[in-house]
Amino acid sequence: MSETRATGRRVVVKIGTSSLIHDSGRVNLQTIDRLAYALSAMNNAGTEVILVTSGAIGVGLAAQHLQTRPAAIAEQQALAAIGQSSLMRLYGERFTDYGASIAQLLLTHDVFDFPESRRHVLDTIAALLARNVIPIINENDSVATDELDHKTTFGDNDQLSALVATSIDADMLIVLSDIAGLYDQNPKQHPEAMLIPVVAGPAALGQAQASGAGSRFGTGGMVTKLNAARTMMAAGKQMVLCSGADPRIVLKVLEGAPFGTWFGIKEGQS
């Protein structure tokens, strides 16, 4: 693969719960610090950056010293309320350390379903970016539920990140995950699995091998990431799926380094 330099002016970065929470259930403070550093560096360099974060329920579990996600919706929403405030406190501390300003937006799907509310939230994001503030977006897990009569849930933050990216006309979506990219088979079960470095278009996704949720703390899996990639490519945008073990990788991705899987990139494109 020849080097492809990403020159996007506006970038959405999505990080999953599995990257923010250790297998032990404790918060991964190093990951949060490195994420804040990387996004602050992007911001300082003139890139408009938006963070879509998971992790509210995971952080809530850690705060309550729980190992198992409860089945009851009310209990999950309570943990989300606890965890979201703690997560934003951590983000606030780390981004402040690097001189960056942040703002929180909690969204439900119906915000995008209704034109007026959609316009208002997009105007808010635009105003924050104009002030050099980094919006941090998460689903409003404390009120969103698929049991309501109208659609409130996104289902996963991969879908949310792609919807945000296409709605604000972002040039690229970078998805940080517990897997280093798209493989020809599940690398957790098959050590010989080969990374697929480039998926040129939606048709190429037909060969993808998809699996379910990767950890007990998260809700997404490869299926949701491929759906996000389809959304981005259908809009003529780029998506990169790469490891979130060290979020500073986003700086290399923006330089065009061949990490992870690039969706919507053709060989030889510059």
What number of other Cβ atoms are within 10 A of residue 9's Cβ? 11
Nearest to 125 by CA among 175, 86, 169, 80: 169
pLDDT at 189: 82
Asked if residue 115 lies in contact with residue 148, where contact means CB atoms within 8 angstroms, the answer is no
Bind-site residues: 14, 54, 141, 157, 177-178, 219-225
The model's pLDDT over 12-69, given as tens digits with 9 standing for 90+, comes to 999 999 999 999 999 999 999 999 999 999 999 999 999 999 999 999 999 999 988 8
pLDDT at 145: 55
pLDDT in tens, the chain (270 residues): 333 434 458 999 999 999 999 999 999 999 999 999 999 999 999 999 999 999 999 999 999 999 888 888 889 889 999 999 999 999 999 999 999 999 999 998 888 888 999 999 999 999 999 999 999 999 887 776 554 344 445 557 899 999 999 999 999 999 999 889 988 877 778 888 888 999 987 777 765 544 434 444 444 478 889 889 999 999 999 999 999 999 999 999 999 898 999 999 654 454
pLDDT at 193: 84
Bind-site residues for ATP: 14, 177-178, 219-225
Q: HEC states along 65-104?
A: CCCCCCCCHHHHHHHHHHHHHHHHHHHHHHHHHCCCEEEE
Q: What's the rounded Cα separation, in Å, for the pair 79 and 56?
A: 7
Asked if residue 107 lies in contact with residue 121, where contact means CB atoms within 8 angstroms, the answer is yes
* Rg, Å, the chain Cα set: 18
pLDDT at 149: 41
Nearest to 178 by CA among 216, 136, 140: 216
Q: Phi first, then psi: give them for residue 136, nearest 5 degrees.
A: -115, 115
Nearest to 10 by CA among 177, 122, 154: 122
pLDDT at 201: 79
Domain 10-263 has CATH 3.30.420.40: no
Provide the whole-model pTM. 0.88
Residue with the two structure tokens 């088979």? 185
pLDDT at 200: 85
- Both tokens of 210, joined, read 């998809």
The model's pLDDT over 53-63, given as tens digits with 9 standing for 90+, comes to 999 999 999 99
Bind-site residues for substrate: 54, 141, 157
Asked if residue 13 lies in contact with residue 51, where contact means CB atoms within 8 angstroms, the answer is yes
